Copies of this chain bind each other. A is one copy, B any other.
Amino acid sequence: MIKVQSQDFDIGAELAALSHGDTTIGGVTSFVGYVRDLAGDESVSAMTLEHYPGMTEKMLGDIEARAQARWPLAATLIIHRYGDLKPGDRIVLVACASAHRQASFEACNFLIDWLKTEAPFWKQERTAAGPRWVESRATDATAAQRWQTPKPAK
């Protein structure tokens, strides 16, 4: 399931809904991303997340479908916020439920890595020097590329 929203989310309620009623699920791995107060060595007071409505949902849906094709997953969830956020705020939740622990770990890691390189979101941070657009990190591209070699969980 894909949710793109400006409001915050309730992790406990979202994970409970994800696994509710499916007793074949052995584990749920989730990742929650937060706004940090530091970018490089500059202090960040707030940020705005801009996105491309329509394409965002399409890309997240594509990435989710790829994970579901690759690992045995009972359910997946991606929630990504947009709009004004401040340090400590939740930005993103990715969760994967599976009968198998390792599949849920790998799929969750895959989803967040690809989301970071494909989902059309842009962060603008507010620092003492004024607002600035965050530059993409080469390490994110590298993290995503390691999934290019098919190597599904046992």
Contacts and interface: CB of A to CB of B under 8 A. Distances in A.
Interface string A38-54: 10000000000000000
B88 A23 contact: yes
Contacts of A101: 31, 33, 112, 143
Interface residues of A, number: 38
A107 to B, nearest CB: 12
Contacts of A72: none
Contacts of A27: 31-34
Contacts of A105: 31, 105, 108-109
B31 A25 contact: no
A101 B34 CA distance: 10
A84 interface: no
A21 B87 CA distance: 10
B143 A102 contact: yes
Interface stretch (A10-18, A61-69, A123-131): A10-18
A15 B33 contact: no
A76 interface: no
